[in-house]
Amino acid sequence: MALEGEMVLKWEREQARLRESVKEEDTEDWQRSPDFSGLERVGGVDLSFIKGNDINACAHLVVLTYPHMKLLYEDCKMVTLNAPYVAGFLGFREAPPLLQALEKLKNEQPNLMPQVLFVDGNGLFHYREFGLACHLGVLSDLPCVGVAKNLLHVEGVLRSEEHHSQINALQKSGDSFYLATASGKVLASQKARQQRPGTKTPSGDRMEKKTLEEPRLSRGPVLLWPTSEQWMIMIQQCMIMIRSNTL
């Protein structure tokens, strides 16, 4: 128990150090263009687990053309995770294999490196405003957008009656509302799903815009991960939402 406490304190210090490198403002020319002129490649990463096994997982990276969403690159690799799961510190557990996938692409086909990366996890919408998307963004030096499925209770954002009424007001796929902290800072948006009333979608490092939840599909009896086709749909919808919700 004492060893775990020391590890968490070490991770807190490392998060605080890395958090100083997060860039919330637009840094790329294409981000400042109304039609994202110059954006040609978008990527998505996901880590999916074997059912009943929290150590072995599949690291998945896809790269698509933009705006036509044609598959350029796909890589899936089974990995073994060495760090334990600790709430709020997912980056220390999941970032290493995802960074390895990006490094492999950079070494083998650098011309296919994504210009923006969609990450299955939180970004700024995090207890210390440094979720997995921020972690990856800082260490990979790529603009990242966090795409999450569960609502964290962060800085006054709760599943309150007001929050549920906002969800109920979402009428169609694409409708959304901002999630702001008690201080008024917008960290994320919640967007309507096609099959359920709403889902929370955080912003990520270096791209302070809003996205939507990624779809998932069962591939076999025990392993879940998004297919390349699902990434195409998800990223395309994300980019549309980002363009229509500029802060």
Query: pLDDT tens digits for 56-84?
Result: 999 999 999 998 889 999 999 999 999 99
Looking only at the bridges linking them, the beta strands covering 176-180 and 144-147 are: unpaired
CA 91 to chain centre: 11
CA distance 212 to 241: 8
* Contacts with 62 (C-beta within 8 Å, 6 or more apart), sequence order: 43, 44, 71, 73, 74, 75, 226, 228, 231
pTM: 0.76
Name the token pair of 197: 């009333």
CB-based burial of residue 172 (10 Å sphere; 0-12 exposed, 13-18 middle, 19+ buried)?
Answer: exposed
pLDDT in tens, 102-150: 999 999 999 999 999 999 888 887 788 899 999 999 999 999 988 877 6
Using DSSP's 3-state secondary structure scheme, residue 60 falls into strand
